[in-house]
């Protein structure tokens, strides 16, 4: 008997399943149980409440997917996070449209919704797409009808704060249109775009390893602020805004979704980890790939570097973790099973 097999028997016995002969267990379950030592959770910088909730649930026996969804639901419900769920910044017409996806490692299934309106917790709807349909992605009106069919309550997701931000954007887009910000009779050229104008691409991603060593993840967002109605970002696209392979690890992203859509970034992070790269190096190498593929002058600074940011968060099967961004600045949330902390993302460039 190998050492690891002996260790497994010892652990299984301690866990009260010692009566079950190891030979009776499928190899996959044996390997899952052997790695079942250290629950961890990773999230974007807005994800301290998410990783805290996820680990609390995992410690009480939850599957990683249940845990990460419950974690991000806290942020979806929070009106003060203007990048996710209720209180998210709206599209150019002032309507909040949400994207979300989930991926379950042990069954390698996924579900997603895109451009869904009036439903506060798109991650829960995404999960139902995975569990209660033969599809992976449902969008727009179809996604709303699907949510209604499952009893979700519709509500106005546009908070007063988000509406005022949107109005400020709309009134300051141009001096040539008819929307005017507050002004005096003496003002001329009213409504010139003021700088810097923050267009939110914030989002929350959360990935975790549970007590069985299984890995799952979720990404949920209100997407790019003031987007064209119907615009879908990377968050609900499996392989772009998140990806999970139960034998390797998981990855997810926040930032400019279009860059991830054309680079299939999250699956690339996981594939780099499969090749043996650390989570942080895998995230950094995908940042490099995005920068190399950034051909459009309008998306480059004068020195040729991308004029946008993309951030990645990854964990591998061993519970190792890392976060990286194209540009210095973002942080990520990590819970090691004992406590949650915010850490600096590695980065390619510093301004």
Q: Which stretch binds ligand GLY (CB under 6 A): 39-47, 53-61, 122-130, 221-229?
A: 221-229
For the chain, the first-to-last Cα distance in angstroms comes to: 56
Per-residue interface string for the shown chain with ligand GLY, residues 142-181, x marking contact by CB under 6 A: ----------------------------------------
- By CB under 6 A, what part of segment 237-256 binds ligand GLY? 254-256
Does 234 bind ligand GLY (CB under 6 A)? Our answer is: yes
Tokens 């806290």 correspond to what residue? Answer: 74
Contact 343, 323 (CB under 8 A): yes
Strand partners, 245: 249
Does 105 bind ligand GLY (CB under 6 A)? Our answer is: no
Nearest to 42 by CA among 208, 194, 221: 208
Contact 191, 179 (CB under 8 A): yes
Q: Which stretch binds ligand GLY (CB under 6 A): 42-50, 171-179, 231-239, 264-272?
A: 231-239
Does 221 bind ligand GLY (CB under 6 A)? Our answer is: yes
Does 233 bind ligand GLY (CB under 6 A)? Our answer is: yes
Question: What is the size of the binding site for ligand GLY (CB under 6 A)?
Answer: 12
Q: DSSP labels for 236-282?
A: TSBTTTEEEETTTEEEEEEE-HHHHHTTTHHHHHHHHHHTT--HHHH
Query: Among residues 87, 207, 223, 319, which is the contact residue for ligand GLY, using CB under 6 A?
Result: 223
Does 257 bind ligand GLY (CB under 6 A)? Our answer is: yes
User: Prior bond to 193 cis, omega within 30?
Assistant: no
Q: Count how many residues are written for the chain.
A: 351
Q: Could you give the CA distance from residue 7 to residue 13 in angstroms, rounded to a whole number?
A: 10
Does 100 bind ligand GLY (CB under 6 A)? Our answer is: no
CB of 71 to ligand GLY, least distance (A): 18
The percent helix, strand, coil of the chain (3-state, each to 5) is: 30, 20, 45
Query: Among 33, 52, 201, 203, which one carries the catalytic annotation?
Result: 203
Does 201 bind ligand GLY (CB under 6 A)? Our answer is: yes
Does 46 bind ligand GLY (CB under 6 A)? Our answer is: no
Nearest to 306 by CA among 337, 266, 260: 260
Contact 78, 204 (CB under 8 A): no
CB of 229 to ligand GLY, least distance (A): 14
CB-nearer residue toward ligand GLY: 41 or 98 = 98
Does 290 bind ligand GLY (CB under 6 A)? Our answer is: no
Q: Is residue 201 annotated as a catalytic residue, yes or no?
A: no
Interface positions with ligand GLY (CB under 6 A): 201, 203, 221, 223-224, 233-235, 254-257
Catalytic positions are: 203
């Amino acid at each position: 008997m190998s050492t690891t097999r002996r260790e497994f028997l010892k652990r299984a016995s301690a866990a009260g399943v010692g009566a079950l002969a190891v030979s009776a267990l499928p190899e996959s379950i044996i390997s899952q149980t052997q790695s079942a030592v250290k629950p961890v959770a990773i999230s974007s910088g807005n994800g301290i409440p998410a990783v805290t909730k996820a680990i609390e649930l995992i410690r009480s026996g939850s599957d990683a997917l249940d845990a990460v969804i419950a974690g991000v639901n806290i942020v979806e419900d929070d009106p003060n996070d203007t990048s996710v769920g209720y209180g998210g910044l709206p599209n150019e017409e002032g309507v909040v449209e949400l994207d979300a996806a989930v991926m379950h490692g042990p069954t390698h299934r996924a579900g997603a919704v895109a451009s869904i309106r009036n439903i506060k917790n798109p991650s829960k709807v995404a999960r139902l797409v995975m569990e209660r349909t033969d599809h992976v992605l449902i969008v727009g009106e179809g996604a709303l009808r699907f949510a209604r069919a499952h009893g979700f309550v519709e509500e106005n997701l546009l908070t007063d704060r988000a509406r005022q931000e949107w109005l400020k954007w709309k009134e300051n887009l141009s001096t040539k249109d008819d929307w005017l910000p507050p002004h005096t009779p003496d003002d001329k050229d009213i409504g010139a775009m003021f700088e810097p104008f923050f267009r939110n691409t914030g989002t929350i991603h959360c990935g975790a390893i549970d007590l069985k060593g299984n890995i799952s993840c979720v990404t949920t967002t209100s997407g790019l602020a003031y987007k064209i109605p119907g615009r879908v970002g990377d968050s609900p696209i499996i392989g772009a805004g998140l990806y999970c392979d139960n034998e390797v690890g998981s990855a997810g992203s926040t930032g400019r979704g279009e860059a991830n859509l054309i680079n299939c970034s999250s699956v690339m992070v996981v594939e780099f980890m499969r090749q043996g790269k650390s989570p942080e190096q895998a995230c950094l190498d995908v940042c490099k790939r995005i920068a190399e593929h950034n051909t459009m002058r309008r998306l480059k600074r004068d020195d040729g570097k991308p004029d946008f940011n993309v951030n990645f968060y990854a964990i591998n099967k061993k519970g190792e973790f890392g976060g990286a961004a194209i540009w210095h600045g973002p942080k990520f949330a990590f819970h090691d099973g004992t406590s949650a902390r915010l850490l600096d993302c590695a980065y390619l460039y510093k301004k």
